[in-house]
Amino acid sequence: MTAFPNSPRLQKGAIVGLDPANPLASIIVFQYNPETVTRTLTPQTSAGHGEWGQLAPGEAMRLAGPPQEDLTLEVIFDATDKLEKGDPVAAQAGVYPQLSALEMLLYPKSSSVIANEALLNSAGMIEIIPPEAPMAVLVWGPKRVVPVRVMSFSITEEMFDTNLNPIHAKVSLGLRVLNYRDLGLASPGGALFMAHQLAKEAMATLNTAAKGPLAAGGPGG
């Protein structure tokens, strides 16, 4: 049964790891979009407190920055359809490549680890700067493209092929949105977050405009 030809094309969510050294290794397009995304926003209020722990005068409504936003979602990967179509990658590795691409968001690059170990042993360097993970970006439609850090990661592998490669897996992700206070406004990630905030402000304005006279005068105003 074919889909209605004029039906809108469903956009797929994705997580992209921005790594200049290996731009293709961490592009994970969701095979199936998560059915739910839970977003928790915690306001970042002023830290100024007066006597007895109350907020200092004039500080009650001040914001120290954008809210801390945490996301939880579950992503499913399944190789069944590709196996039926004879896909060579699925036949050889199941969904192992997709899972590995996600996991690499948490691993320092092996080349950096080896290079740092060589510096430590040969040059006698006392302090080695820890390598950075690639900046992860959650793409959830055109209005939600934000830098994130993976805070929790749980994989449930449910079916396997004859070589014990997983062919069906559920991945539970906990993500924290990184904002311009975390990354710096002039950084690529900070600029990406600011673009996201500007889109959110535009949506809030659209909501107010859509209410028309009720927004200004209230019911019966």
CB-based contact 190:66 (threshold 8 Å):
no
Q: In 3-144, at which residue ranges do the beta strands (DSSP E only) sit?
A: 14-18, 27-29, 37-45, 63-78, 135-139
Output the pLDDT for position 25: 62
Output the pLDDT for position 53: 54
Q: Does the reported pTM lie above 0.75? A: yes
Output the pLDDT for position 88: 96
| Cα→Cα distances 134→48, 131, 148, 208, Å | 35, 10, 10, 38
CB-based contact 70:86 (threshold 8 Å):
no
Output the pLDDT for position 37: 96
Q: Give average pLDDT by consecutive 10-residue segment, the chain, 221 residues.
A: 56 87 76 95 73 61 88 96 95 96 86 77 67 86 93 95 96 96 93 95 87 56 47
Output the pLDDT for position 149: 94
CB-based contact 107:133 (threshold 8 Å):
yes
User: Can you give the residue ranges of every domain in the chain?
Assistant: 14-40+63-210
Output the pLDDT for position 221: 47
